[in-house]
Chain A
Amino acid sequence: MEEIAYSVHPIIVTLVGALLGAGYFAFLRWQTQVGSVNISLLIGAISGALGATLLTAPLGYCMFQADQKSEDILVGWIAVALGLLLTLNIFSNLLWRYFRGQRLLPRGDTTPGAFRGRFGLLYALAVLSPTILVLIYFVYLPMFDTLRFSTFLARFGAPRTRFICVSNFSRMLSDVDYHSNLFLSFALSFGIILIAMSLALLIASMLNQPIRGANLYRTLLIWPYAISPIVAGSIFGLLLGTESGIVNRVLDLLFGTKVPWLVSIPAAQISVVLASVWNVIGFNILFYTAGLQTIPKDLLESASIDGASAWQRFARITFPLLSPFTFFLIVTNTIYAFFDTFGLIFVLTRGGPTESTFTAMYRVYVTGILASDIGKSTAQSLILFLIVVGITIVQFRVGQRRVQYGNY
């Protein structure tokens, strides 16, 4: 058998992972001062080695072979880093639970009202099976396919596929168009979160006041939640049309200018943000209203008696206690900006002018469906997946800490 030449040998990759893992666990041990040093180092090294091989070994360490370009090696190290992030977090969590004497696994469920009888497991399997089967076949297997195809040269309609290692990813590193698509997605989320969430919080705070007609106001304010992005895009296409649009009509009367909203940069991007904000604000108001009702009135009253001003009550009590809702909304708004704006952009600007309103999801559609490139589009989908996972983890971690802060 021919010896494969590596520019970075798999053993070195594994050792680097083990060293980093041991270092991280040593740091945790020093920080917490709980548990045995030797066991920390050992488990740290093992989980580090596991993390370094997790994403690279299934591909045969192909990105570290001698004939690969430097971008592929970089992608290889990114894969090592992602694997490490996953395994080090899981194992450190488990190990320190063990050190603290906590349960490693969730408690075997002891529901008080559970049905007794011999066929409990069978019965449970029967009622759970529709959900589980659909999830396996239409979520887990496509997820696996997405991972697999992202390392392939594959096209719709072409029966032959070829393994091309991480080329689909390494080409992204120099794909300037894709960078601007990703940037637009992030900028869009930022704009939506900033505008739609702060306005929604203001409106929800007003709705939460003891005023007449609050229920009517609420109904009139949250209904855009029911409107589809396609419809939102269509309406804003009418409002923002250069000649036909009512917005330009008003601008013309007031200032004597017309803005080519949908056909110039950056006006087109701003138009997309405006339409998206209108589309999601009802949802945000809905959840902020729900959140404000969870805040105990007596807490605000006693703060009021102690002489706290309205702003102080908001900044010191209401806003911190709302943080679980805020983080939830950040996640849902980001997911809206990344994925659901597709339909809105599809009718409002068609991605134009000159691809300036192509979001990363729009790019997946263009690459995968219009250009039939399965490999490249699944690689782009995986980037989106990583972003969703990243945001969810950040939300979960920060959210947990802040909830504990407000837990009384």
Chain B
Amino acid sequence: MTESASSRFVFDPSAGKHRPLWRRLIPQRWYAHLILITAVVIITFPMFYALLISTQSNPEVYNHKFTPGTMFFENLHTVMVQRNMGRFMLNSFIIALSIAVGKTIMSVLAGLGLVYFRYPGKWIVFGFVIITLIMPGDVLLIALYRRVVSFDAWPHPYVALTLPLLASATGVFIFRQHFMTMPPDLSEAAQLDGASPLQFLFRVLIPLSWNTIGALMVIMFLFGWNQFLWPLILLRDQDLQVVQWGMQSLTQNLEVGDNFGPMMMGVIITSLPPMIVFLILQRQFMKGFALTRDK
């Protein structure tokens, strides 16, 4: 391979030292930086603008001021206390966490059952799980709603809300694939040591699967936090509603627009938890999907 060909693909910081000054000032592949910076500006702008508006009063919004306003704490108070968003956030947190944890546990167990045991008709079981991928919850919404409300002994409305969402074809698929890439020596050794399948799961498989678990937890938490339509139709008691419901209640009279500050404050606090989860677990998330550049 020639030197010039490989340097097209490998970033070499020392290469710049022999270049003229103007080449050093303008970064290599300036067009990539240009496109990426443009993309970052366009993609980030709506959220940045929402953050700005969340501190402003309505006259400031209509005057299109590009400086932080004075209403930050008032808006925060309006949203969290008057419009009950604090309560809604807690509700959504409970729901999203239950969904994330429940789905992950069930998927790990199902993955174990699909990989580490020998029995006839295993592919039928796998097909039974995986074919539900073509039945999105929204398609089943009406029938599921009817089925759930026709049973009136739910211990808590949240059980009725979360239980139907706990099985995950995606999760089962991901853990099955992950477990199948594990070397078989691991379970052979565990069996020689007399470990039961569950001991093997907790002592060996799970410690080796944190990236996958982390990636799945991010997806499932976001899925739970962003639930809107299902809670909207299922939950009768407004105090039990979720954060997305609270958010939409802040956007009533959108075109009349007498509440942009609180509305954008709602946007910010509704988006903070999923973004924090996403940022903290980003490394696991990327590794779970093998997205890191240097692998």
Contact = CB atoms under 8 A, between A and B. Distances in A.
B295 interface: yes
A305 B4 CA distance: 9
B226 A124 contact: no
B214 to A, nearest CB: 15
Interface of B: 1-2, 5-6, 8-11, 27-29, 31-33, 35-36, 39-40, 43-44, 46-47, 49-50, 53, 61-62, 64, 106-107, 109-110, 112-120, 122-123, 125, 128-129, 132-136, 138-147, 163-168, 172, 180, 182-188, 191, 197, 200, 222, 225-226, 228-229, 233, 244, 247-248, 250-251, 254-255, 257, 260, 263-264, 266-267, 270-271, 274-275, 277-279, 282, 289-291, 293, 295
Most buried by B among A130, A242, A263: A130
B142 A364 contact: yes
B158 to A, nearest CB: 15
A96 interface: no
A290 interface: yes
A227 interface: yes
Nearest to A346: B248
B47 to A, nearest CB: 7
A27 B166 CA distance: 45
Contact of B271 (A125, A226, A382): A226
B134 A230 contact: no
A290 B290 contact: yes
Nearest to B10: A210
A141 B140 CA distance: 10
A238 B116 CA distance: 53
Contacts of A378: 142-143
Interface string A199-243: 100110011011110110101110111111111011111110111
Interface string A122-165: 01111110111011011111110110010000001000000000
A338 B109 CA distance: 32
Contacts, number: 321
A293 interface: yes
A374 B5 contact: no
A87 B128 CA distance: 18
Contact of B143 (A149, A243, A301, A338): A149
A389 B295 CA distance: 35
List the 9 closest A-B pairs by CB distance, nearest first: A113-B184, A210-B11, A138-B164, A113-B187, A112-B184, A145-B143, A134-B167, A228-B226, A124-B117
Given A111-B117, A128-B114, A242-B255, 17 more contacts: A108-B120, A121-B117, A134-B166, A139-B135, A211-B28, A212-B11, A217-B36, A220-B43, A228-B247, A234-B248, A241-B257, A281-B43, A282-B43, A305-B2, A335-B136, A346-B248, A364-B141
